[in-house]
Amino acid sequence: MHGLRRRRRDLLVLTGLAAVVLAASTAPTAAAGAPRPADPLQRQVEAIHDTGAVGVQAEVNSRGARDSAYAGTAAAGTGRPMPRDGRFRIGSATKTFTAAVVLQLVGEGRMSLEDTVERWLPGVVRGNGNDGRRITVRQLLQHTSGVPDVVPEIPALRSPEGYRAERFRTYSPTELVGTAMRHAPNFPPGEGWSYSNTNYTLAAMIIHRVTGRSWAREVTDRIIRPLHLRDTGTPGAFPFIRGRHAQGYTAFGTGTGAGTEVTELNSTMAVGSGSVISTVHDLNRFYAALLGGRLLAPAQLAEMTRTVAAPELGVRYGLGLAEIPLPCGGSWFGHRGELLGYVTWAGATRDGARSAAVYINSDGGRGTQQAMTGLVGRELCRPSAAG
């Protein structure tokens, strides 16, 4: 897709991953509580702010040690500093949570990655050449299903007018999939790669069908509570961000700068694919636990990190995880997230020993994505990553 249509699709997509292959206002850190201009993490955060982001926070964790840095403001045109451990919509980083739940169910023998969508959701993926009888659960999680993306059809994500008119609208998963089925598949199942948020809406529906409980409850009981992710939640139709948070801004693909303030949003259009609210600290805990083997058995973690080429993005993709080259050699696993006004990059080294997360509360400008991915890569290459 091109132009505005492509931009809106990218709100929940890993756009900018290719920048990793090609290649971060002074504020206090959590550890020191005072500006630290000589600190490498602080310098990188300030560099990200300098590319046009309204506000920035980053955190790096390694074997219990925690380093945070902040720059910019929590509200455009004010001097209000970015909140410590502020909560924000993590967008597509939600997909890693959803994939982890599916793989837990696979490990429990309750379903298989080779099950068809039709087995669990009879008749749901049909029409215009779409056929759930030919699509597997693995293909959903891997974005090799060919299922069309619903995001370009969501008015609230496309323009200031659409946002103001529909920011409180509630969607059902069935409605979202039905909307996507109006379009032909991108390719026959298993014969290509294309990022589609509909894949993870379907995965959330399958989780509900297998367990008899909602996607939100399974994510909460299987991941959020066991890992004590105290600032992470699934908001459902509730459109506000509780607790400490920065305001979110987007220009809807029409330029740079703060654009429209979009903090309020009913994110039911992103259930399973992008609706989780969290913090950089909780994201670090999550990715470290996942890659460190605390959430999945070895067989399922191996499936999750077995990647295929994702030419659309210029990297490799597994099951809810991107594999991204490190500047020091090797790779890290994580995900980009964006959902109206907030953009994040988060992930961990292959063994989970070191994790890094960064977010901004606006679109940013030229070079913002490279600065963000550069920060994650450099921090995961720091010597302490090896112990």
Active site residues: 92
Q: What is the 3-state secondary structure (H, E, C) of the chain?
A: CCHHHHHHHHHHCCCCHHHHHHCCCECCCCCCCCCCCCCHHHHHHHHHHHCCCCEEEEEEEECCEEEEEEEEECCCCCCCECCCCCCEECHHHHHHHHHHHHHHHHHCCCCCCCCEHHHHCCCCCEECCEECCCCEHHHHHHCCCCCCCCHHHCHHHCCHHHHHHHCCCCCCHHHHHHHHCCCCCCCCCCCCCCCCCHHHHHHHHHHHHHHCCCHHHHHHHHHHCCCCCCCCECCCCCCCCCCCCCCCEECCCCCCCCCEECCCCCHHHHCCCCCCEECHHHHHHHHHHHHCCCCCCHHHHHHHCCCEEECCCCEEECCCCEEEECCCCCEEEEEEEECCCCEEEEEEECCCCEEEEEEECCCCCCCHHHHHHHHHHHHHCCHHHHC
Asked if 184 contacts 128 with a C-beta cutoff of 8 angstroms, the reply is yes
Nearest Cα to Cα of residue 63 among 355, 281, 280, 345: 355
Residue 322 corresponds to which tokens in the numbers above? Answer: 């991107």
Report the DSSP pairing between strands 322-325 and 315-317.
antiparallel
Asked if 288 contacts 352 with a C-beta cutoff of 8 angstroms, the reply is yes
Asked if 375 contacts 346 with a C-beta cutoff of 8 angstroms, the reply is no
- Rounded (5°) CA angle 377-365-94: 55
